[in-house]
Structure 1
């Protein structure tokens, strides 16, 4: 029976039990209940008697002629007649969300029986464990309690809610996976930022090693790491040239004052930076042909790095101090960081290419593994670079683990002038699969410099695409709506028709994709044999 129907049925009993003069007192009781919690904030506690419950809907008596109708978070037993305490999770005119507190568990005899059957002592820790399992919809039986208790004992410093959530998502529980899971929950998981950290950590580690062990060790470290970075970049040179040309054309459209000399493969460097780089190359004894090519903007960043790495490997740099100054110079750091971005970030055009994301992760996996080997072999496993590389590797491993159950991927993006981070989560529920209606849903989340947080909810059924764009300000909404025809045309070329909605939301409503996964986790199944055309 629905709660609204139950309230109508309850009217007469309520009037009789409270001595009220008419059923309108029931409505007054609901108004009184709303007034009673009007000033309460999320986190505060209320107590009352459960009058009725239907799924997540609950009706509570807070006191004489004070009734509260609310949503209940979690799956803990709440039966009519029980006196329970609740924490307020949300309190607004449109939605009141309550969460049962730990102490309520002692009133549920099933909890005590389950713990006793599993041979687990009943205390605040195990009660909290059971609450977390209930909230996540995990089975409360001897085997599941025993397994969860082992996890709680093995990781006593980890929030039991985290352990229950990882268990529900069938994720392996290790110190590394816990760290990544909590980073995802706390929105500290962006792969693009972690990759950017590698460039900064490379410079920091180079300085520390040179300062502690001298220039010879510093240059040897640089040679090994640069070799690992360039080892898997073969075959990308042509794409690098194409990217530079594309950037030059785009830049020319934006700035009519651009001259021909400002284009070319080193267009990401200013004229002053390029002149400074040429000066350092000369002082370091780099061959004249290379210096000339850089001076004339005819040599790509990857080609320059290959030349430097070759000279370091052959110990063919006559002036080590000048070589150190070259590697520490501002334009060379800029060049190195740009080359890392080219290898590790995708432009929107590249995302549209088939298998581009797969190839990106193959390259990242290979390079991170190679970097880890180089750092371990040279006893540099405690450097800032080693920690940054480990963080990226663990992040990728964690994504692979999630993809055993869900379709999820991060897409580090290189936009014009700024980088961005994208996340794609594809999900569908078991009911739609059972009906075989062919529908697939997805969430594309973007963190962008100028547009801020952008969410695109997409539903695909047959060849029809329905999209909802959520943005944080009117100017961003206007920009997207003015250019939606471009997306329409691209989808039409792939055989899709599209309907789009544009919705503005507050900045406080940023989407956390892990929370979306947790919400859907109970109903998501592996998309075996199904695909979502993310490139479109």
Structure 2
């Protein structure tokens, strides 16, 4: 091993005279800053940043110089000896000094993991001080199975770091989020788990204020967080379980106010039950009457159901039928399931008419959030905190909460349209950061990506760019058949866009190529979407 003596430090120090530090003061992986005082074969005497002297053993032969300043990593430590690995590829520089200073002031162990944390904070232009570092250390410890990059992304985007939001973020990043499927799972549980005692309660909840035509007159979801308010630190590291409505308040940055959650079951049960004509389309009412006719079995004719009956009157009507008890129960279950399904379809799915009035989409999510909260509260009041119905209601509610927080900086929305309208799944991404728009001022230019899954067309990616009254539109399809079908109808789109007062400057159809990356192409997108990028999605309903 060669030793280079610098003139100012051309002195010999006996290792035996250097104060040793107890090996238990060091941990494996710890990173130390030190100046080399002396070298004897594999033993090295160094002065640490805090002035302490340490004698240690190098893990391999390497050319070093007395007076050289660099980083060492602790490879092993005991009460007798410390083994160090020189980190020559990370020779000391001003950035290292800053990172070590921050870690030292925060009282945090200097190791590769914590150095990486500081580096990531600096690279994202996030605060790097004792408070923020300790906060991140607590989060990293609490969510030790979550990649550091994910936690930092959530903090940077003001998404509360909870177990549920971590899961929803992963689903969002991997194109696995599906609000419509959540609602379908909930609907299935309502049909198969709800007892006779709770079915009417669920129908009332689903239909309470459900009419989209009257949303402007209704007061809904008063407790949604104010988009202008930042997410409180207490919320970032706070409770993971957001289903306990009694402990939720606006002051804590949570979702729904206590005033809006007082005794929902008592309020609902005192209301008059809705009439069937409000719930059931004529086709469903006819289907029910056809079913009723099969139960008559050629005996005395059963009078048909009418739309002006209430749910209570329906109960009395079934009870008064001249059928044996088993047939009555079977008929009651059949009718109730049809009513529940109609109530779900009517109240928890969007109509395409909402696209003509975008404010209805916002009101839709306010309403569906309230309905889910009431279902959860109702089940809790009945002591039914487990089961698929509760699980799917909580999951759908948490999905809306995650979407709400995401929309503080971005514009992203899932549009769960009714199946009868042929649209299986739909998502809208708008490529603007709301915080940047506030600082730069509004612009009439907007770029968006609309993802659609149609029953007959399969998957479509539609990129739209609008500048004033000029529109550019590009379709990306899966195969030649879809390519041909879309091209055949482009002239209709031209006319439709023109009828809205816009001029279509360019429209084209291409096959999909690249895969859309949620983080790189949406959440961390730095530049304006000036050019069309070809996106495709792997997720299917």
Q: Secondary structure at the match of 1:288?
A: coil
How many Å separate the matches in 2 of 1:314 and 1:335?
15
Structure 2 counterpart of 1:231:
208
Q: Secondary structure at the match of 1:428?
A: coil
Structure 2 counterpart of 1:191:
179
Gaps of 5+ in 1: 1-102, 207-217, 238-263, 294-298, 525-536
Please say if residues 277 and 326 of structure 1, whose CA atoms lie closer than 8 Å, have aligned partners that are also in contact: yes
2:424 is equivalent to residue 420 of structure 1: yes
Structure 2 counterpart of 1:219:
196
In structure 2, do the counterparts of structure 1 residues 353 and 317 end up closer, same or farther at CA, with 3 Å as the change threshold?
A: farther
2:294 is equivalent to residue 279 of structure 1: yes
Instruction: Quote the offset at 1:234 in angstroms.
Output: 5.5
Please say if residues 463 and 496 of structure 1, whose CA atoms lie closer than 8 Å, have aligned partners that are also in contact: yes
Q: Secondary structure at the match of 1:120?
A: coil
Structure 1 counterpart of 2:386:
382
Instruction: Quote the offset at 1:197 in angstroms.
Output: 0.7
Please say if residues 445 and 513 of structure 1, whose CA atoms lie closer than 8 Å, have aligned partners that are also in contact: no
In structure 2, do the counterparts of structure 1 residues 353 and 156 end up closer, same or farther at CA, with 3 Å as the change threshold?
A: same
Alignment of 1:322-341 (within 5 A): 322-326=327-331, 328-329=333-334, 333=337, 336-341=340-345
Instruction: Quote the offset at 1:456 in angstroms.
Output: 1.6
Please say if residues 464 and 472 of structure 2, whose CA atoms lie closer than 8 Å, have aligned partners that are also in contact: yes
* Aligned-residue CA RMSD (Å): 4.1
Structure 1 counterpart of 2:494:
488
504, 509, 517: which one aligns with 2:522: 517
How many Å separate the matches in 2 of 1:135 and 1:309?
63
Please say if residues 280 and 325 of structure 1, whose CA atoms lie closer than 8 Å, have aligned partners that are also in contact: no
Report which stretch shifted further, 440-449 or 352-361: 352-361
439, 445, 449: which one aligns with 1:443: 449
How many residues align structurally?
369
**Cα deviation 1:58-108 (Å, max 9, x = unaligned):** xxxxxxxxxxxxxxxxxxxxxxxxxxxxxxxxxxxxxxxxxxxxx988987
Structure 1 counterpart of 2:52:
none
Report which stretch shifted further, 379-388 or 146-155: 146-155
**Cα deviation 1:390-413 (Å, max 9, x = unaligned):** 111111111111122112221112
Instruction: Quote the offset at 1:477 in angstroms.
Output: 2.2
Structure 2 counterpart of 1:475:
481
Please say if residues 277 and 332 of structure 1, whose CA atoms lie closer than 8 Å, have aligned partners that are also in contact: no
How many Å separate the matches in 1 of 2:452 and 2:429?
12
In structure 2, do the counterparts of structure 1 residues 490 and 367 end up closer, same or farther at CA, with 3 Å as the change threshold?
A: same
TM-score, length of structure 2 as denominator length: 0.58
Structure 2 counterpart of 1:152:
140
How many Å separate the matches in 2 of 1:281 and 1:198?
33
In structure 2, do the counterparts of structure 1 residues 124 and 310 end up closer, same or farther at CA, with 3 Å as the change threshold?
A: farther
Structure 2 counterpart of 1:211:
none
Alignment of 1:92-103 (within 5 A): none
Structure 2 counterpart of 1:247:
none
Please say if residues 184 and 514 of structure 1, whose CA atoms lie closer than 8 Å, have aligned partners that are also in contact: no
Structure 1 counterpart of 2:163:
175
Please say if residues 465 and 472 of structure 2, whose CA atoms lie closer than 8 Å, have aligned partners that are also in contact: yes
How many Å separate the matches in 2 of 1:459 and 1:374?
45
In structure 2, do the counterparts of structure 1 residues 105 and 225 end up closer, same or farther at CA, with 3 Å as the change threshold?
A: farther
**Cα deviation 1:409-434 (Å, max 9, x = unaligned):** 21112254644221122233649974
Please say if residues 206 and 343 of structure 2, whose CA atoms lie closer than 8 Å, have aligned partners that are also in contact: no
Structure with larger Rg: 2
Structure 1 counterpart of 2:376:
372
In structure 2, do the counterparts of structure 1 residues 328 and 117 end up closer, same or farther at CA, with 3 Å as the change threshold?
A: same
Instruction: Quote the offset at 1:441 in angstroms.
Output: 1.6
**Cα deviation 1:296-350 (Å, max 9, x = unaligned):** xxx5xxx7xx744654599957776445423544x86456334412322223344
Instruction: Quote the offset at 1:130 in angstroms.
Output: 4.3
Structure 2 counterpart of 1:455:
461
Report which stretch shifted further, 455-464 or 342-351: 342-351
Please say if residues 402 and 408 of structure 1, whose CA atoms lie closer than 8 Å, have aligned partners that are also in contact: yes
Instruction: Quote the offset at 1:140 in angstroms.
Output: 4.4
Which protein is richer in helix relative to its size? 1
Instruction: Quote the offset at 1:523 in angstroms.
Output: 6.4
Please say if residues 426 and 443 of structure 1, whose CA atoms lie closer than 8 Å, have aligned partners that are also in contact: yes
**Cα deviation 1:340-375 (Å, max 9, x = unaligned):** 123222233442245331332232122112212211
Structure 2 counterpart of 1:54:
none
Structure 1 counterpart of 2:399:
395
Gaps of 5+ in 2: 1-87, 215-279, 529-541
How many Å separate the matches in 1 of 2:315 and 2:147?
49
In structure 2, do the counterparts of structure 1 residues 312 and 222 end up closer, same or farther at CA, with 3 Å as the change threshold?
A: farther
Q: Secondary structure at the match of 1:119?
A: coil
How many Å separate the matches in 2 of 1:106 and 1:168?
30
